[in-house]
Every structure is written in structure tokens, then in C-alpha cells.
Amino acid sequence: MSKQDEAVLILKLYELLREDTMRKARDWYFRDFNPKSISDFNLSMFSEHSGTLRAVVHFWEMAAALVNSGAISLDLFISTNDEHIVVFSKIEPWLAHIREAFAPEFAVNLEKLIDSVPEGRKLTERARERMKAFGDHFAPKQQRVDRQGWS
């Protein structure tokens, strides 16, 4: 595939990320989806957020498949985004359980992509730590607001 064709695919992915429904799904995934156990993941999978969770993971699963198949080069892909790393960081600890319970192929393209990125697992761990720190920083404030009855 030509570099121009790859660029068109990258721009199309970006365009899809900007779509209103996807924006809302991503907002929820990054702000509110912070599973600390497989039980937390399961609660999200069987809640009103199930479609939201699946939309985000499956979007990046499809994008990863484009890279893994050679439609987009790894270099171009990783130089234009890193959101897939954060998405993967939130599900990685429970992948074996998720695959056993839901689907053996769950996020296999995403995992393959992470493993093809130099230091991909280290980047994933760092992303998970950043997301945890972010959640720890904002969760107590939200709980204070909720307890005071302002929300």
C-alpha cells in the first residue's frame, strides 16, 4: 500500500474517533472505566455501558488489525497516536479471564500490535500507572461532592 493510502486510512481513523458517539464512548472509557478486578470488568460488560466498552475496544482492535495486516505501517501508526496503548492497559490484566469468559479472540489484534511496538508492554504498564494516578486524583474529589449532595 502506498504511503498516501496509509495516510488516508490514518485520517479516516481520526475522523471516526471524532464522531460524536465515539467521542462519548472514549470519554467514558478514559474517565469512568477503571476496572480494578475482573469483577469490575464484568460489571461494565453487563451494564448500560456494555456497548460503550465494546465500541472503544473494538475500534482499536480493528485499527490494530489494519496495522498487523500491513495496511498501515507500524511506524506511521505509532507516530500518529498512542491511545491504543491506554485502551489496552485497562484490559490487559484480565485478558485471560475475559477470553475464557467471553471470547477467545478478544483483543488479539490489539495485543499483537502492543507486542510489536518497541517496549510495548512497558508503555502499557506506564499508561496503566498514569490512569490509576489520574483516577486516584479525581475519584476522591467526586466522592466528596457526592457525599455533600452537590451532584
Number of domains in the chain: 1
93 is a domain residue: yes
- Residue 14 counted as domain residue: yes
* pLDDT per position as a tens digit, 87-109: 999 999 999 999 999 999 999 99
* 147 domain residue, yes or no: no
**Is residue 17 situated within a structural domain?**
yes
Residues spanned by the domain of 79: 3-140
User: What is the per-residue burial (b if ≥16 Cβ within 10 Å, else e) of 96-124?
Assistant: eebeeeeeeebbbbbbebbeebeebeebb
Instruction: Tell me if 58 is assigned to some domain.
Output: yes
Residues 3-53 have pLDDT tens digits of: 999 999 999 999 999 999 999 999 999 999 999 999 999 999 999 999 999
Question: Taking the CA of residue 3 as centre, how many other CA atoms within 13 Å lie in the half-sphere pointing to its CB?
Answer: 2
